[in-house]
Amino acid sequence: MADVVTLFDAAPTHTGTAVVELFDPPMCCPTGLCGPTLDQTLLDVNEMILTLQAEGVGVERYQMTSYPQAFLNNADVMRLVCEKQMAALPITVVRGRVVKAGAYPTLSEVRAHLMKQSPSFGGNGATA
């Protein structure tokens, strides 16, 4: 029997080993997948996170109301939020560098940034 991972109410583990960090806009729950209608973008983000985690990449998600310290601890994220306010969100950070703001990245975009920052990452189960 396969292990089942429920992400609907999963909270970030804050292990400090996150390679990819997503700073989300306010949502009804940690993933935004709990409403009566599902947003395809959020479904795609959830699938991207599962894929990256299966490849050994540490991924964390933060919402300002639930994890304000994560926002405050990242000067680049706070600068963007101060400059653009809510329009800056979501913000994606790969290995400490902001790689996208105002929209979620695709899996291909995240993999490209992982490759650029660590050529040993191959997207085929190699840890990043």
pTM: 0.77
Query: Which of 4-8, 15-19, 119-123 shows the highest mean pLDDT?
Result: 15-19
pLDDT tens digits along 58-106: 999 999 888 999 999 999 999 999 999 999 999 999 999 999 999 999 9
Q: Would you state the pLDDT for residue 2?
A: 44
The full set of domain ranges for the chain reads 20-28+38-117
CA distance 118 to 128: 7
pLDDT tens digits along 12-48: 444 456 899 999 998 877 777 777 777 889 999 999 9
Helix/strand/coil for 10: coil
Q: Name the region of 96 (left: φ>0; alpha: ψ -120 to 50; beta: rest).
A: left
CA distance 105 to 47: 12
Class at the top of the CATH hierarchy for domain 20-28+38-117: alpha beta
DSSP codes of every residue in 110-122: HHHHHHHH-TT--
CA distance 55 to 53: 5
Indicate the pairing of strand 59-63 with strand 91-94: unpaired
